[in-house]
Amino acid sequence: MRWINEITADPRQRHTLLLDDGSTVTLTLTYIANQRGWFYDATYTGFIVSGKRVVMSPNMLRAFRDIIPFGFACVVSDGLEPIFQNDFVNQRAKFYLLTNAEEVADVESRVINA
């Protein structure tokens, strides 16, 4: 699991994330003020997900766990949602990349068995 600490308060930003197998995921984050939240798009070798809200979750991409070998997790220090533009800068919220299928499975087992 890799913390994506390059996220800034810019309302639109793009990050290229490296997976354990050497492939990449393009992550686009957008802050929409009137929605009070962050939204993400991700592309990975033909897989595209777009316009999804960033929420506190052990794997925001859980629905696709049998399709893609990675996931996105978000942890918020106060247990609420990441709703402020500077949440990732001040580390109220942290965004993580689950870098391989084994990490996704490990997170799944911890959540299900908790």
Q: What is the pLDDT of residues 80-96, one digit of tens each?
A: 999 999 999 999 999 99
Q: What is the DSSP string of 6-59?
A: T--S-SEEEEEEE-TTS-EEEEEEEEEGGGTEEEEEEEETTEEEEEEEP-SBS-
Q: How far apart are CA 67 and CA 47, in angstroms?
A: 9
CA-atom Rg of the chain in angstroms: 13
Q: Which pLDDT score is estimated for 16?
A: 98
Q: Which pLDDT score is estimated for 57?
A: 95
71 in Cβ contact with 59 (< 8 Å): yes
The DSSP letter of residue 89 is: T
Q: Which pLDDT score is estimated for 107?
A: 86
Q: Which pLDDT score is estimated for 112?
A: 65
